[in-house]
Structure 1
């Protein structure tokens, strides 16, 4: 097995892991667990003996931590709806290239190759328009 194949294999494994982690971070159950953890953390803190800036810092850290889960959930929802809309546009167009359907399931390398193809296509179209 050469280095290039090893790299591709590792990239596929990493992409599967990141997809799994993204799904977990965007889960409602994960947010509820994080909220319970923050509430437990706040109830075990002695805010009466802390200075005001320490209490504010702790509150900001808690809100920031919870925001991670809210933002990830919203991004997952937005991304999924965007993929559905784009897939619908591709399916409804007779001249569209159906190979871009479910492109979100392709590896990063495959996506970069598709981007290069479309960049080359745009350049070709510009050349044709300039000649006219």
Structure 2
């Protein structure tokens, strides 16, 4: 079993309600045993150590799951952009831009939206069959995007 298969299966298990309920029950049992162990250092160390180890390992599990979900989402969006008539192929490169470039591009798209609908307008999206007139559309900010060749 590869790490990806293991982490996918483990994320399915840990994401269920029963897993949360079992963890909660474990904490309740631990708390109830406090008087029996006279709340000593070993009693406290058990929960501290176990929760620290579980939290540490879950960080990697969550990151793996997020990476996989993010990659699959990007592939789906890339395919939609590729297959959509009039979409700009340059948008397929956005994940390679830095945060400032993405922020500037997002602001340009936001300004197009404000000009089209007004800053306080209630936006009603057209049906999927409706197309905007070419003369009515503003040029896309991505048309001016220059890709850097990183060789």
Same-fold call, TM > 0.5? yes
Q: TM-score, normalised by structure 1?
A: 0.57
State the alpha-carbon separation in 2 of the partners of residues 80 and 62 from structure 1. 28
Deviation at 1:50, TM superposition (A): 5.5
Q: Helix, strand or coil: the match of 2:87?
A: coil
Residue 95 of structure 2: aligned partner? 104
Bigger radius of gyration = 2
In the comparison of the two structures, how many residue pairs are matched? 85
2:83 aligned with 1:122 = no
Runs of 4+ aligned structure 1 residues displaced above 4 Å come to none
2:86 aligned with 1:86 = no
State the alpha-carbon separation in 2 of the partners of residues 71 and 110 from structure 1. 28
- After TM superposition, the structure 1 = structure 2 runs for residues 1-132 of structure 1, keeping only pairs within 5 Å, are 28=3, 51-127=42-118
* 1:7-35 deviations in Å (ceiling 9; x for gaps): xxxxxxxxxxxxxxxxxxxxx49x9xxxx
* 1:63-100 deviations in Å (ceiling 9; x for gaps): 00000100000010011001101111111111212221
Higher relative contact order structure (alpha carbons within 8 Å, sequence separation ≥ 6): 1
More helix, by proportion = 1
Residue 25 of structure 1: aligned partner? none
Deviation at 1:121, TM superposition (A): 1.4
Deviation at 1:124, TM superposition (A): 2.0
State the alpha-carbon separation in 1 of the partners of residues 103 and 50 from structure 2. 41
Q: Calculate the aligned-residue CA RMSD, in Å.
A: 2.8
Q: Helix, strand or coil: the match of 1:102?
A: helix
